[in-house]
Amino acid sequence: MTHSRRSFLAAASGLLGTALLGTSGCGRGGYLTPEGTISLWYWNRSISDTLLGKVKDEIGIDLVPQKIGGDYKQKLLTSLAGKAYVPDIAGLNEDIATYFPDADQFIDLYELGAKELEPLYLDWKWQRGVTPEGKMIGFPMDTGPTALYYRPDIFEQAGLPTEPDEVAAALDTWEAYLEAGSALVEALPGVKMIPNIGMVYGQAVAQQATRYLDEEDNFIGDGPQIRRPWELAVEAHQRKIAANALDWTPDWGAGMTRGTIASFVGAVWMAQVLEEAAADTSGKWRVCRAPGGAGNSGGSFLGITKYCRDPEKAYKVITWIQSPENQLVYGLNEMQLYPAAAAALEDPRAQKKEEFFGGQIINEVFATSAKQVKPVYLSPYDNVVGAAFSDELANVWSLGKDPDRAWEDALREVDRQLSHLGLI
């Protein structure tokens, strides 16, 4: 009996011991990578792996890139919250403003000399990485200028213009676009002009010069820059020109493939999404200036965290990886990441005919859009406040909620959220 008990205890402690092994002599502190190296967290397909492989040879820095899968933000927040194993360089997404209240976690890139590079990049994009206090926490990576994607063959059947210039001229405002939508739906039963009305709201908001909060965190989202897109979306709903197919769903892909959705306004990166979702429609699409003008949706940044042991080196890495030349060659031409550097947009190497778009040089459209995007202040709380509006808009089209009541409810919800945040 005692024998068997001892053997159990031995087995148990043996197993635990094995599991615990390797913890001793673990004195490397809270750093991701050894002294002398620079660590970088990024998403798959957000930086060319070929380019990352060249860092050592080209600028002589030991860069350790780590591709982070899954919920990137959760991982970054957890390491920042735990104050351990934070990367030297971190990719920051479109929601970079949510890090503004904690700008002290990042190194001010202006202090490392970023000012001299500022003229090389699109101003509106650059400003999105700078806090209201003038601290630069994110260096521009890619952008997402928007345009109208449409099917000329379907437009023709509906008696609408077909050439990009004509379409852009005829559908220059959202009102004209929605009007044309009604004409199209009337001429072609079973075909819709747009995938969903959330697109109208989101893309019209993306064209504005102000958004939900100003730089002093005052709520301004009841102004025309939000009210007008809201009304446009409601109008689109009332005109019944939307297919109610949400982005990234099979309905969306099927609508694009089968030609039951004639157009949508989207960022430049939607071209890849469209090409994969509707490969059979190659050659049938065109792109032109979006109704309402230029806008931006998506795009990311690189920041240096305060835990970085050698900010100068990290800065060298960032500026090299995101140099205008590399944004063109390894960003746009290898990865289809749209450059933030103005020179890259104009470069002859960027002017390629796209087979999917019937040989159109779509870059011309997006480059024009990219240069015309209005600078806008994005606040740290835009995602909280914006959700109140988009949730209520979803109620309008999915539940048939009265639009005026939905607007009132959205404002009431915003009030609640802002008081919760301690902003009012």
**Residues 298-317 within binding reach of another protein (CB under 8 A):** 298, 300
325 part of the interface to another protein, by CB under 8 A: no
162 sits near another protein (criterion: CB under 8 A):
no
Binding segment for another protein (CB under 8 A), chosen from 81-89, 119-127, 132-140, 150-158, is 81-89
**Interaction residues for another protein, span 92-151 (CB under 8 A):** 98-99, 101-102, 104-105
Rounded to the nearest whole angstrom, what is the least distance from the CB of residue 109 to another protein in the complex? 18
String marking each residue 365-384 x if it binds another protein according to CB under 8 A = ------------------xx
Q: How many residues does the chain have?
A: 424
* Closer residue to another protein (CB): 167 or 302: 302
Of 23, 57, 348, 359, which one interacts with another protein (CB under 8 A)?
23
CB of 187 to another protein, least distance (A): 20
Cβ closest to another protein, residue 290 vs residue 388: 388
Using CB under 8 A, which of the segments 25-33, 112-120, 130-138, 216-224 binds another protein? 25-33
Q: Interaction with another protein in 203-232: which residues (CB under 8 A)?
A: none
Window contacting another protein (CB under 8 A); options: 63-71, 211-219, 315-323, 357-365? 63-71
411 belongs to the binding site for another protein (CB under 8 A): no
Instruction: Tell me whether residue 249 or residue 351 sits nearer to another protein (CB atom).
Output: 249
25 CB-near residues (< 8 Å, 6+ apart) = none
Least separation in angstroms between residue 151's CB and another protein is: 16
Contact 246, 196 (CB under 8 A): yes
In the complex, least distance from residue 42 CB atom to another protein, rounded to whole angstroms: 9
- Regarding 389 and contact with another protein (CB under 8 A), the answer is no
Classified as helix, coil or strand, 23 is coil
Q: Least distance in Å: CB of 370 to another protein?
A: 16
Q: b/e for 282-314, b at 16 or more Cβ within 10 A?
A: eebbbbbbbbbbbbbbbbbbbbbbebbebbebb
Can residue 322 be called a binding residue for another protein (CB under 8 A)? no
Bridge pairing between strands 296-304 and 89-92:
antiparallel
Q: What are the contacts of 243-247 at 24+ separation with CB within 8 A?
A: 243/192, 243/194, 243/195, 243/196, 244/196, 244/397, 244/398, 245/195, 245/196, 246/195, 246/196, 246/198, 247/195, 247/196, 247/198, 247/199
Number of C-beta neighbours around residue 392 at 10 A: 22
Phi, psi of 19 (to 5 degrees): -65, -35
Task: Kindly provide the residue ranges of all beta strands, DSSP E only, lying in 80-220, ordered along the sequence.
Answer: 89-92, 139-150
Q: Of 162 and 383, which has the nearer Cβ to another protein?
A: 383
DSSP reduced 3-state for 9: helix
Judged by CB under 8 A, the stretch of 117-125, 219-227, 283-291, 414-422 that binds another protein is 414-422
250 binds another protein (CB under 8 A): yes
Residue nearer to another protein on the CB measure, 161 or 389 = 389
Among 61, 117, 343, 394, binds another protein (CB under 8 A): 394
Report which secondary-structure segment, H or E, holds 64: strand 62-67
Give Cα 320 distance to the centre of its chain.
22
Measured CA to CA, the distance from residue 100 to residue 281 in angstroms comes to: 43
Q: Which is nearer to another protein, 405 or 416 (CB)?
A: 416
| Three-state secondary-structure class, residue 112 | helix
Closest CB to another protein among 167 and 396? 396
DSSP secondary structure string for all residues of 223-250: SHHHHHHHHHHHHHHHTT-B----TTSH
Size of the site for another protein (CB under 8 A): 85
